[in-house]
Chain A
Amino acid sequence: MTVTSEFLDSSAAPAGVHQGRGNLNGDGTLLSVRDLAVTFGVRGQREARAVDEVSFDIRPGEHIGLVGESGSGKSVTSLAIMGLLPDRGVKTSGEVRYDNENLLTWSSRRMSSLRGRDIAMVFQDPMTSLNPVVPIGTQVTEILRRHFELSKGDALARAGELLQKVGIPDPKRRLKEYPHQLSGGMRQRMLIAMALACEPRLLIADEPTTALDVTIQAQILELLKELVADTGAALLMITHDLGVVAGLCDKVNVMYSGRIVESATRRVLFGNPRHPYTGGLLESVPRLDSPRGAPLTPIPGSPTNVLPWTHGCAFAPRCRNAVDDCRRVTPALRPDGDRELRCHNPLSDDLPDDQRTDA
């Protein structure tokens, strides 16, 4: 396979970049997750279900958000899609549909030729995600040479162009350097360059800005947005920060303790959150348009204070709206107007339509 040049030539239209790269699923989705469940079990200890009943679709070029606190299972979901969970002590069930096949049934060999080429990933901590003893050039070229038949020289040349593209100055020199010679922001740019090197159809970004300085965060998000738009890749943005999702995603899934609790388009979700958890998340984000002096409302308790889903609603111990049923009956994810919702006693839907605004 030869390298398509559209990515480097940003004036070219994004559409069509991925034509001939494999098919979409029958229903027109690029990736479709159905009833994904991941269970961790250490010998002799209780099994822990990290992810359960997770379903969502990603269409070509679409930006999907997966939002939740740490421990909500959002990263485990992404690792399950990538086939990067450890073999031992982990049980995965459900379906990750791609190119009309279930990725969960693929051999590790087949998955590895898909990873990096069709689906790529950017991780949270750029300080630890790059190999400290391998030159930057090698780390970028190795992915190119793995998936495309490139000579060493061609791969290096292309790696230089990639670094340029992600805004790393003096790429020729940088290629010979080592990660510790770069700042955190520069390293994240490198990771993004690597992830987009093969122009994947789907980019999974797992908290890509969390470990960075606040001033750098916006730059990196902007860069991601731009590059994803250029290449026409779909984006699965995993974050705990609703602010990140607000400027980026078409559709948002909110996860709590391993399950999706609310799923809607960005407009619907931000305009009128129905799940008390989503509501709590939104209220704890400072807003420019709130009245002066209005206090931020944090969600009480901590994410470790959960009820097992088998006994009721996991969020019940922290929920202001909790009713008796919440501690007895497991809520199901049900369609609720223009969204899906997992709640016995949701927040009211009483906002007049004209007050629904984007965050």
Chain B
Amino acid sequence: MLRFVLRRLALLVPVLVGLSILLFAWVRALPGDPARALLGQRATPEGIARVNELYGFNEPVLQQYLLYVKALLNGDFGRSIQTGQPVLESFFEKFPATVELGMSALLLAIVVGVPLGYYAARHQGRFIDTAIVSGSLLGVVTPVFFLAILLKLVFAQWLGWLPTSFRQDARIDATHITNFYVLDGLMTQEWDAAWNAMVHLALPAIALGTIPLAIIVRITRASVAEVMHEDYVRTAESKGLSPAVISRRHILRNALLPVTTTIGLQAGLLFAGAVLTETVFAFNGVGQYLFSAISQRDYPVLQGYILFIALIYALINLAVDVGYGIIDPRVRVS
């Protein structure tokens, strides 16, 4: 298993190197010269000179690239044009919010999606199956930001059941240790704060989780429908096993293999969806940070974010592959 993980990590290296070259080239391809692009509208001649010095923009290209990589390896992902804060620092500050949101969305998608897909597959061709499949199709085609706006309009503004924006009400004086607000509330036993944070999470999580939910429903349904007709399921039935054991051990364990892969892919896509969702709900995470960076043409932030996301995406998929190996013994051997 360790060798498997190491080999996967090794495969990651060329991708990351390639990505760094791409991002390096990207800054140079931006309109205007790179220093101006990195400084934005407030570029002064002195500032440009300073940046040119700092990033070595006057040096030969290869040298510049090596400087860039060296900075990355030292954890220097650049500084924001708007705030002057190191990009990585802002990420770590805001990342817990996005992780909290993303995990809630994914949890929702899995907890609701897998049973729905399973149920649809077991009732193939009946009305309930048609309803679930149609519903999941709607979930797939509805743009995240539209769904977010719709949810906000109906449940926050018209019905007033849930808050429209932010991670927690301002009136709540909560202690923040980890910046995972729900977790903080639970740790400090400030139940009110934890509950308030959860209430604020509800709509964004539903908005962000709908597409993965719909996709998980579809994959689970297709996969269960296929596994159900496998010979080994018939063998299990011929042994007189109870329906619960057949479902759990013989159908689901096999059917969840493709679902696991899908969950990994979706986890990565959540970071793109988070940009849109967090913006609609003014949810102070990396997504919203990136949105403002995009609208302000704050390129160092965008550059850092993409690298950051690629890294996390790769790690998630590595985790998924390891998980896959745990479920499927055939992968472990090869």
Q: Are A116 and B241 in contact (CB under 8 A)?
A: yes
Q: Are B240 and A146 in contact (CB under 8 A)?
A: yes
- Say yes or no: A82-B238 contact (C-beta < 8 A), given A134-B253, A142-B249: yes
- Say yes or no: A84-B238 contact (C-beta < 8 A), given A123-B231, A128-B230, A131-B254: yes
Give per-residue flags for B251-293: 1 if the beta carbon is below 8 A from chain A beta carbons, else 0: 0011001000000000000000000000000000000000000
Q: B250: nearest residue on chain A (CB-CB)?
A: A131
Closest beta carbon of chain B to A247's beta carbon, Å: 25
Q: Which of A8-16, A107-115, A159-167, A290-298 lies at the interface with chain B?
A: A107-115
Interface residues of B (CB under 8 A from A): 125, 230-232, 234-243, 245, 249-250, 253-254, 257, 327-330, 333
- Say yes or no: A131-B237 contact (C-beta < 8 A), given A123-B231, A146-B242: no
Q: Are A132 and B238 in contact (CB under 8 A)?
A: no
Check: A237 CB closer than 8 A to any chain B CB.
Answer: no
Task: Enumerate the 7 nearest inter-chain pairs by beta-carbon distance, A residue then B residue, closest first.
Answer: A116-B240, A115-B240, A116-B239, A128-B231, A178-B329, A131-B232, A143-B239
- B contact residues around A120 at 8 Å (CB): 238-239
Q: Are A117 and B240 in contact (CB under 8 A)?
A: yes
The winner among A84, A88, A134 for most chain B CB atoms within 10 A is A134
Closest beta carbon of chain A to B226's beta carbon, Å: 13
- B contact residues around A111 at 8 Å (CB): 240
Bound Cα distance from A359 to B242, whole angstroms: 43
Q: Are B238 and A123 in contact (CB under 8 A)?
A: yes
- B contact residues around A194 at 8 Å (CB): 235, 239
Closest beta carbon of chain A to B219's beta carbon, Å: 17
Give per-residue flags for A134-147: 1 if the beta carbon is below 8 A from chain B beta carbons, else 0: 11001000110011
Q: Are A130 and B254 in contact (CB under 8 A)?
A: no
Residues A147-189 near B (CB distance < 8 A):
147, 178, 180-181
Bound Cα distance from A135 to B327, whole angstroms: 11
Closest beta carbon of chain A to B40's beta carbon, Å: 54
Q: Are B249 and A131 in contact (CB under 8 A)?
A: yes
- B contact residues around A128 at 8 Å (CB): 230-232
Q: Which single member of B237, B249, B253, B257 contacts A115 (CB below 8 Å)?
A: B237
Q: Are A129 and B232 in contact (CB under 8 A)?
A: yes
Q: Are A113 and B327 in contact (CB under 8 A)?
A: no
Can you list 9 A-B pairs, Cβ within 8 angstroms, ordered by A? A82-B238, A115-B240, A121-B238, A131-B249, A132-B328, A138-B249, A142-B249, A143-B239, A178-B329
- Say yes or no: A131-B238 contact (C-beta < 8 A), given A125-B231, A180-B330: no
Q: Are B235 and A123 in contact (CB under 8 A)?
A: yes
- A contact residues around B230 at 8 Å (CB): 128
Closest beta carbon of chain B to A39's beta carbon, Å: 18
- B contact residues around A88 at 8 Å (CB): 125
Q: Are A132 and B239 in contact (CB under 8 A)?
A: no
Q: Are A115 and B232 in contact (CB under 8 A)?
A: no
Q: A180: nearest residue on chain B (CB-CB)?
A: B330
Q: Are B234 and A84 in contact (CB under 8 A)?
A: yes
Give per-residue flags for A33-54: 1 if the beta carbon is below 8 A from chain B beta carbons, else 0: 0000000000100000000000
Check: A191 CB closer than 8 A to any chain B CB.
Answer: yes
Q: Are B240 and A112 in contact (CB under 8 A)?
A: yes
- A contact residues around B240 at 8 Å (CB): 111-117, 143, 146-147
With A115-B237, A130-B235 given, can you name 14 additional A-B contacts, CB distance below 8 Å?
A82-B238, A112-B243, A115-B240, A116-B239, A123-B238, A128-B232, A133-B327, A133-B328, A133-B330, A142-B249, A143-B240, A146-B239, A146-B242, A146-B245
Bound Cα distance from A132 to B227, whole angstroms: 12
Closest beta carbon of chain B to A208's beta carbon, Å: 13
The winner among B230, B249, B329 for most chain A CB atoms within 10 A is B329
Q: Are B236 and A180 in contact (CB under 8 A)?
A: no
Closest beta carbon of chain A to B6's beta carbon, Å: 23
Q: A177: nearest residue on chain B (CB-CB)?
A: B329
Q: Are A129 and B330 in contact (CB under 8 A)?
A: no
Q: Which single member of A113, A123, A132, A181 contacts B234 (CB below 8 Å)?
A: A123
Q: Are B241 and A132 in contact (CB under 8 A)?
A: no
Q: A83: nearest residue on chain B (CB-CB)?
A: B237
Q: Are A129 and B329 in contact (CB under 8 A)?
A: no
- B contact residues around A116 at 8 Å (CB): 238-241
Bound Cα distance from A111 to B243, whole angstroms: 12
